[in-house]
Chains A and B, each alone.
Chain A
Amino acid sequence: MNNYTVTRTSTASKAALVIGILLLIGLAAAPWWAGRADMRLMSEIYLYLSLACLWNLMAGYAGLVSVGQQAFVGLGGYLLFALTIFGGFHPVFAILLGGLIAAAVSVPVATLIFRLKGAYFAIGTWVVAEVFRLFFAQMQSLGGGSGTSLPVAIVKELGAKKAIREANSYWLALGATAMVLLAVYLFLRSRRGLALTAIRDSETAASGLGIDIWRTKLAVYVVTSAFTAIIGGMIFLQKLRISPDAAFSINDWTAFVIFIVVIGGIGTIEGPIIGTLLFFALREVLADFGTIYLMVLGLVAIVVMLKAPKGVWGLIKDRYDLELFPLSYRVRDTNKK
């Protein structure tokens, strides 16, 4: 008699879990084995990975393709500066508070731009980012069009000595990224997440099953915006300086993120991880070439979209039936060992 169980885990995902935990411990110890420049690079990688993961949640799972993520990156950055400088809050608290404020802001924004569909929605998100940019460019108290630096007193709240500040900054980035990955993974495993995948696969069928599409998409938009703002706060805490053009740069916060997700594999959790690694590898090789580097990125994104729309991870996943973050259900014969 055959006994079948339905399970989510596989050998690969169990192995990945063990490796992941070991990796996390190793990376957390970086202040002891890595140099300052390396730690900064790793922080940058973590933060980009978070942004990619969040953009992927919205676009790859909820079908909300945004080219305006920079709105919330910049908002998070400016809120960090505003809340610490004018509110006297501790930087970490300011970053978290910024996330909450961003969540609140994203609700009226969503009610407006959700009236647009498809590619028009995308451009709508871009307009919102432009509105934010122009708004903050008018704020003379935060440096207007040229921006401002984070006062030394506030910087020192992260740690009296430079080495401590560097370590704290690094751990913040690592911790935030681990939390984002975990949160996204748990969300997708949950019933809400299943609803999301259903919506992505077929909106009409999903709504026929009683899934409230608008509210689910709104929830994703709000949560993604909030976390993006938190990451934005961390980014500018690292940079110590903010300006409207840097905060709301479509190149830095959207173009690169989109390329990461597309090349890595949209609609999967593993995709953004691979994409980020590939992106930074490519950057190391080509960064000296400025415009050519960007053109190559654009070209690669086009080719991947046409020839391998599921990205690098999609190719691996299809070939080897691999899943490192267990999301789909498998039927396993318990009699077979």
Chain B
Amino acid sequence: MEWISAIVQGILLGGLYALFAAGLSLIFGVMRLVNIAHGDLIIFAAYMALSTTMLLGVHPFVAVLIVVPLMAGLGYLLQRGLLNHTLGSDILPPLLVTFGLSVIIQNALLEVFTADPRKLNGGPIETASIDLVGVGIGWLPLLTFAIAVGIIAGLQYIFYRTELGRSFRAVSDNQDIAQLMGLNKAHIFGLAMAMALAVVAVAGILLGMRTSFDPAIGGGRLIFGFEAVIIGGLGNIWGTLAGGVILGVAQTIGAKFDPGYQILSGHIAFLLVLAVRPNGLFPRVEH
């Protein structure tokens, strides 16, 4: 029974990891960019929510209404102001610029908020739980998973059934020809990053309610998101959900043996998948 509980917790944890990964996946899909600062932006969003709740005295869920649009706007400006200028055939500039960005964000947060762990106060929902199949399931993890599924379904819908998604796919396929069709790729990339950071904002707030956070943990979140993407398979956003779940379950099962093994188990699961299925479990695109 304890094992079942661990697996269920792992599945729900996977929802959070899938949220980390969704933004990464989206950006890579549209513009082949991997943002090393992605994890730090998740933490940045958590701090933004913290400030909002402290300044306005509202619940984190209400803070979503402010943080999500702010992060989306930030994403658009970041892309058009900085990241668009790194795109090209050389992989070094975007990698090194986003690495520099990561260092700046971490230290800026450290400077403003210090290294003390902080947490968003979600109130009763944090400890409320429900009994399902004989296992106690927390409302917050359950909600997080549901939100993750919802967001992924939403992204899928946008990508394949809307004009915006059509533009994303066209620009991703062939930037030059897309430009000839009247699509300003600088603007399209900006919109993609705006969407990605909106998802990052949600992920950050859910993370902040679930555990305590400090400026240094961004890198770990990036790695979890990245592992979920690779396990699930590039180019498949539902695969990313599967990847997140597998990672989550590997971690919770590892933790059952010894709490110190939690993260290591996740890494091992990732390396295993990399060894036997280099393209991930449900790939749509070659690396």
Contact = CB atoms under 8 A, between A and B. Distances in A.
Interface string A109-122: 00011011111101
Contacts of A246: none
B267 A130 contact: yes
A253 interface: no
Given A255-B99, A299-B100, A127 B267 contact: yes
Interface in B94-119: 94-97, 99-104, 106-108, 110-111
Contacts of A255: 99, 103
A71 to B, nearest CB: 12
A297 B96 CA distance: 12
Given A115-B274, A131-B264, A295 B103 contact: yes
B104 A130 contact: no
Chain A contact residues, majority secondary structure: helix
B214 interface: no
Chain B contact residues, majority secondary structure: helix
A292 interface: yes
Interface in B258-287: 260-261, 263-264, 267-268, 270-271, 274-275, 278, 287
A137 B106 CA distance: 24
Contact of B100 (A130, A291, A298): A298
Contact of A127 (B111, B227, B275): B227
A29 B96 CA distance: 38
Interface in B183-209: none
B219 A250 contact: yes
Contact of B95 (A112, A119, A295, A299): A119
User: Which of under 10, 10 to 19, 20 to 34, or 35 or more describes the interface residues of A?
Assistant: 35 or more
A266 to B, nearest CB: 7
A115 B261 CA distance: 25
B107 A291 contact: yes
A309 interface: yes
A305 B97 contact: yes
Interface residues of B, number: 42
A126 interface: yes
A129 to B, nearest CB: 10
A112 B100 contact: no
B133 interface: no
Contacts of B264: 131, 134-135, 138
Contacts of B271: 112, 127, 131
B278 A123 contact: no
A126 B100 contact: no
24 contacts: A65-B91, A65-B95, A119-B33, A120-B287, A123-B36, A123-B222, A127-B226, A134-B263, A134-B264, A134-B267, A135-B264, A266-B92, A291-B110, A291-B111, A295-B107, A295-B108, A298-B101, A298-B107, A302-B100, A305-B86, A305-B92, A305-B97, A306-B85, A309-B93
Interface of A: 59, 65, 67, 112-113, 115-120, 122-124, 126-127, 130-131, 134-135, 137-138, 250-251, 255, 258, 262, 266, 291-292, 294-295, 297-299, 301-302, 305-306, 309
Given A116-B287, A131-B268, A306-B85, 17 more contacts: A118-B95, A119-B95, A122-B36, A127-B271, A134-B267, A135-B264, A137-B260, A258-B96, A291-B107, A291-B110, A301-B97, A301-B99, A302-B100, A302-B101, A305-B86, A306-B86, A309-B92
